[in-house]
Structure 1
């Protein structure tokens, strides 16, 4: 080993030690600060997936904008769709800053999405055939998102933590919007009540999968260990899932719905919910873009991107001319 190589290794180790000291002290890392490669890559993967999921997540609800049962409901779900798209754009902007030192741009993010290298959340590959689905997405899917995202409000990466402050505040309104739809349906006809139960039955496994598997061995990924190590989040997948159960199972039961899992119960000795595991092989299949609506939603996203690419090209040209 050369003297220069030895010196560089020692310098990098010193930088890493200082970086970890800052993390442990609760300091925020900013975009132009030194950071280890695995920290940067973990953030890029996490935040780009989050951002794309916000955008793809607007699509099942967008389907219900023209079909909402009243003008008030139409305005409500339209505003929610706009919010979700805004969240996605904000998060992709955060990702761009992280990618810039690697010579990558937002176009690379979109190409990764279309090629299948960038995944989006399993729940947004699912169908939403009834108005109850629109309500359930807002109530329970966004409810799950709030639990996951509030766990990262203190994330060590400052720009992500700041973006989450706004996103989480707006997601609370989204969850209230969804709950309002569900509660209105529970006061309706027997057919409407049955529609909610049917929706819950269809979405249950997807909701369990939302937080990811408890063990890295299930998917071969140790992402959750890395995010906890670097204080991007504080809880494991299973802890977040248990928090979701604790918050929402009493609410689900209180409106007369039945859980589609006869084994589910709270174990007083272990102080946790016992439940039937979803099919994690199906989870892996879904996030590989083999879900019920994966191909259709990716096609819509690609079409929108290609049809509006001229706007980005025009802005880039104007920026270059200004220089």
Structure 2
């Protein structure tokens, strides 16, 4: 009995010490003791982020052969390469967290294929026009920068350090997308119409990118846990409001129209009111029922299986 009590007391003391470190803004490292809830929160967040980088390369990859000029081809190819690198970096960070369970990135890939590991809703969408490539770079990556820069001081050291590189490169990606959009917006009537049509299609997905405002919408408390453990400091809705503050003036300055007649800024509260996206549709999309979900998963699955010989060769070399 005494042994069990001591063990329970030690666990309470460990948790109290851990939370003291969190409050003191110490960095938690991979080999430090951490509560299971913290570890699982990190695994879910970082693996989803990593897979979103890998799956997020696919919509733009579709436009590499169709980009209008050689410089545009080189730019989007470099961006696709960067996104894949981000994904590999983040999956490596996740692997360290998986060590107690005897799992690795191969297991994460299988989780993706089985539907157990999600990726961002925006990367399930179609890229119908060249303007879509610009919207992804300018607004999707812009939204990602807002959330990721907030986690540069995340309590988990390996993730915070990985984000230093990722955020620096994402700035260039956003500039790349903005360059595409500005060129089209300053072009012919047809090109300007292409940008507006793309914005109309992507607007709801952009709002969904940040996730529901509260756990009541989906029953999820993930955002509460990430704030509790100081992985991030803002809620989904605060991120969405920051996105509005930064990008609505820029969108309007290009002569574009926001596809939401209810959108309004309240100077007294410093908040934007807007039409809520269809959160039921959001749930369907992240369950791999989006417009291009299965096609992109099949492409990634084929690539993973086709290149299995590379992994086999590397593992043989290590042994």
**Which TM-score band (shorter chain)?**
over 0.9
Q: Distance in 2 between matches of 1:232 and 1:38?
A: 13
Q: Where does structure 2 lack aligned partners over 5 or more consecutive residues?
A: none
Q: Who is 2:249 aligned against?
A: 250
Q: Deviations over 1:79-130 (max 9, x none)?
A: 0000000000000000000001111111110110000000000000000010
Q: Who is 2:283 aligned against?
A: 284
Q: Distance in 2 between matches of 1:224 and 1:284?
A: 16
Answer with 50-59 or 264-273: which moved more.
264-273
Q: Who is 1:229 aligned against?
A: 228
| 1:57 is the counterpart of 2:56 | yes
Q: Who is 1:125 aligned against?
A: 124
Secondary structure in structure 2 of the residue aligned to 1:7: helix
| 1:6 is the counterpart of 2:18 | no
Q: Trace 1:1-323 onto structure 2 (pairs within 5 A).
A: 2-320=1-319
Q: Deviations over 1:217-236 (max 9, x none)?
A: 11111000000000000000
Q: Distance in 2 between matches of 1:216 and 1:55?
A: 27
Secondary structure in structure 2 of the residue aligned to 1:266: strand
Answer with 309-318 or 39-48: which moved more.
309-318
Q: What is the CA distance between 1:298 and its match in structure 2?
A: 0.1
Answer with 307-316 or 57-66: which moved more.
307-316
Secondary structure in structure 2 of the residue aligned to 1:23: helix
Q: What is the CA distance between 1:137 and its match in structure 2?
A: 0.3
Q: What is the CA distance between 1:318 and its match in structure 2?
A: 2.0
Q: Distance in 2 between matches of 1:187 and 1:304?
A: 39
Q: Distance in 2 between matches of 1:293 and 1:150?
A: 29
Q: Distance in 1 between matches of 2:247 and 2:168?
A: 19
Query: After TM superposition, where is structure 1 displaced by more than 6 Å over at least 4 residues in a row?
Result: none
Secondary structure in structure 1 of the residue aligned to 2:206: helix
Q: Distance in 1 between matches of 2:172 and 2:85?
A: 15
Q: Distance in 1 between matches of 2:278 and 2:3?
A: 52
Q: Distance in 2 between matches of 1:52 and 1:219?
A: 21
Q: What is the CA distance between 1:3 and its match in structure 2?
A: 2.3
Q: Distance in 2 between matches of 1:80 and 1:106?
A: 23
Q: Where does structure 1 lack aligned partners over 5 or more consecutive residues?
A: none
Q: Distance in 1 between matches of 2:69 and 2:314?
A: 39
Q: What is the CA distance between 1:4 and its match in structure 2?
A: 2.1
Give the TM-score normalised by the residue count of structure 1.
Answer: 0.98
Secondary structure in structure 2 of the residue aligned to 1:213: coil
Q: Distance in 1 between matches of 2:185 and 2:47?
A: 37
Secondary structure in structure 2 of the residue aligned to 1:174: helix
Q: Distance in 1 between matches of 2:13 and 2:271?
A: 42
